[in-house]
Amino acid sequence: TFRHRYTIDPAEAKRLEQQKKLAFPNVSHAVVEYPLPLLEKGIEIVDSPGLNDTEARNELSLGYINNCHAILFVLRATQPCTLGERRYLENYLKDRGLTVFFLINAWDQIRESLIDPDDTEELEEAEDRLRRVFQANLADYCQVDGYDIYDERVFEISAINALRKRVKNPDVSLDGTGFPEFMGALNTFLTKERAISELRQARTLARQGSNHVHEAIERRIPLLEQDLNELKERINSVEPEFNKLKDIGEQFKDEIKTVRDSKAKAIADSFRTYVLNLGNTFESDFLHYQPELRFMDFLSTGKREAFESELRQAFERYINDKLSEWSKTAEKEMDAAFAQLSRSAVTYGASYTKVTDKINQKLTGQTVRPVSNYTTEDNAPAWAKWAAGLFSLARGNLAGVAMAGAGFDWKNIVLNFITVMGIGGIISVVSGITLGPVGLALLGLGVGVVQADQARKELVKAARKELVKYLPEVAQEQWQPIYDAIKECFDMYEQEVTERMDDDIKARKAELDNLMKQKESHEINREQELARLKQLEADVASQAEKVESTYQNFVNAIA
């Protein structure tokens, strides 16, 4: 069974951790299937690693965070908002526009922690105190467009009570466990926010498709009556307009490249400056991460090694948090850049539409009007609409790029002062005692609270001294990969815009070439062709109307 094959003894797990080896190196993830009604709707739940894991797993978690519809953040009622949880929220979730549901589990254990579990007044006071703590820490993550939706995002649940109920009876109500309230809010979110967004996209595509078919048919019908020579003359007459379409594309591409070069350099420069300045605040910053110093533990080699391991992990957490802090600034820069290109896409799209209208007018001798009940956005060129809507998808995990680029591994830094100076050296600095056999005995008698505090400071100073040696190397080595990663975002954007614009121009030319070939090969039966085109337009319009009706019915149903 899966459980038998992939469960290891705790002692083996500890040994593998010390050796920095994976228990199952060939397993990336496990897929668990269960007939849950929520999953039947196409929802996938991903149990991601925490962000205090390996860099590869950190990358995985950040990837999920940046690409999911919602996050379920599980806390524990008996440990309200630990330092690690607050750090996680502040560094990875705050100000990122994410939808987060907070599940405060083990709410039932509040009663169990009371001296008198049957004292309802004491229970109410204890629960109210906890609610105030959670609200103080979570309220900032429950604001949407200025509205406080705390009650729709934070839920007090008891997973163990829910499990006990369902083990006895799979169909029993979960009232009193907090799950009905949470599932109701989750379903509302999935329905109102996710489903309506996807339906709106489908409606937009249907409108665009219907309008494009309508325009193409309106262009084609007048051309059916023209003889071959007249048709050739009209097609030749619009060649300057097709050249203008290409010019518009070139202008937009030039702007994309200008923004690309400017932003890639600015963001790479910002990383270099940020890294070089880390040493300025390291001593105050790292104190929050540093593991507790217990001096007598250093008499034991095993405990000394454990402390050094904790120190490495603390350093990695510090680096992860600092990179995440920088990435927020970088993402804002990217958002601003693509918002600018989005506005430009609308402008270029409007110019493009004027030229295509001129083409239609010269070919047909009349103005082709778009579908009357569609918006300007619906009637914009497909490439322009795509270009205007992409900027929110164009960001990557910039912190991950910074950590992984150019093969530079932050783990190689891992506080070399541990080896260079050694823990014993730090203690010697503080106490003035050399750690020989006699020194260790004296140390056990002589190091007190004052010395311990001083030792912590000396430890951080030594760490800073070693870290600062590496910062210029990190800043220099990471500049180019970050520059290249940002540049690649814009290059991909430009490539997509170019391909979509070229496809549109080719489709318009192919439409005329096809009609020309038809006229050259045989006489077109105007009545039959007219009937076919009208039927095609009616069929497409009918399908678009069905999508429109479905969308409107859905909006009315959830209003």
Domain assignment present for 338: yes
CA distance linking residue 342 with residue 385, whole number of Å: 9
| Share above pLDDT 90 across residues of the chain, in percent, rounded to a whole number | 20
- Put simply, whether the predicted model's pTM sits higher than 0.85 gets the answer no
Higher per-residue confidence, 337 vs 335 = 337
Residues 6+ apart with CB under 8 A from 509: 242
In tens, the pLDDT along 154-205 reads 999 999 999 999 999 988 999 999 999 999 898 888 877 777 767 777 787 7
CA 76 to chain centre: 25
The reported pLDDT for the residue numbered 260 is: 93
Range with the largest mean pLDDT of 58-62, 325-329, 456-460: 325-329
Whether the pLDDT of residue 377 is over 80: the answer is no
The reported pLDDT for the residue numbered 53 is: 56
Domain assignment present for 234: yes
φ, ψ of residue 302 to 5 degrees: the values are -60, -45
Whether the pLDDT of residue 54 is over 70: the answer is no
The reported pLDDT for the residue numbered 21 is: 77
Dihedral of the alpha carbons of 313, 315, 319, 322, in degrees to the nearest 10: 110
For residue 277, name the pLDDT band (cuts at 50, 70, 90).
very high
| Share above pLDDT 70 across residues of the chain, in percent, rounded to a whole number | 78
The reported pLDDT for the residue numbered 87 is: 76
Contact 166, 36 (CB under 8 A): no
Mean pLDDT within 331-344: 84
Residues 6+ apart with CB under 8 A from 190: 41, 43, 69
Domain assignment present for 141: no
Question: How many other C-beta atoms are found inside a 10 Å radius of the C-beta of residue 419?
Answer: 10
The reported pLDDT for the residue numbered 479 is: 87
Number of domains in the chain: 1
The reported pLDDT for the residue numbered 294 is: 60
The reported pLDDT for the residue numbered 403 is: 36
Whether the pLDDT of residue 484 is over 90: the answer is no
Contact 323, 402 (CB under 8 A): yes
Whether the pLDDT of residue 499 is over 50: the answer is yes
Q: Which residue has the tokens 């369902």?
A: 166
CA distance linking residue 351 with residue 239, whole number of Å: 17
In tens, the pLDDT along 408-454 reads 333 333 333 333 334 444 334 333 333 344 434 434 444 444 455 66
The reported pLDDT for the residue numbered 177 is: 94
What burial class does residue 47 get, using C-beta atoms within 10 Å of its C-beta: 0-12 exposed, 13-18 middle, 19+ buried? exposed
Whether the pLDDT of residue 291 is over 70: the answer is yes
Q: Which amino acid is at 552?
A: Q
Residue-number span of the structural domain to which 262 is assigned: 226-414+476-523
Whether the pLDDT of residue 507 is over 60: the answer is yes
Range with the largest mean pLDDT of 213-222, 348-357, 451-460: 348-357
Question: How many other C-beta atoms are found inside a 10 Å radius of the C-beta of residue 124?
Answer: 10
Mean pLDDT within 290-303: 61
Enumerate helices (H) and strands (E) in the chain, giving the number of each: 22, 5
Domain assignment present for 466: no
Higher per-residue confidence, 167 vs 300 = 167
Residues 6+ apart with CB under 8 A from 339: 391
For residue 131, name the pLDDT band (cuts at 50, 70, 90).
very high
The reported pLDDT for the residue numbered 243 is: 94
Helices (H), 139-289: 159-168, 179-188, 196-224, 228-237, 239-276, 278-286
Question: How many other C-beta atoms are found inside a 10 Å radius of the C-beta of residue 188?
Answer: 12
The reported pLDDT for the residue numbered 421 is: 36
Domain assignment present for 26: no
Mean pLDDT within 307-325: 76
Whether the pLDDT of residue 378 is over 70: the answer is no
Domain assignment present for 250: yes
Range with the largest mean pLDDT of 83-97, 134-148, 372-386, 449-463: 134-148
CA distance linking residue 291 with residue 298, whole number of Å: 14
Domain assignment present for 10: no
The reported pLDDT for the residue numbered 27 is: 80
Range with the largest mean pLDDT of 39-48, 221-230, 256-265, 371-380: 256-265
Higher per-residue confidence, 254 vs 313 = 254
The reported pLDDT for the residue numbered 1 is: 66
CA distance linking residue 467 with residue 276, whole number of Å: 10
Domain assignment present for 404: yes
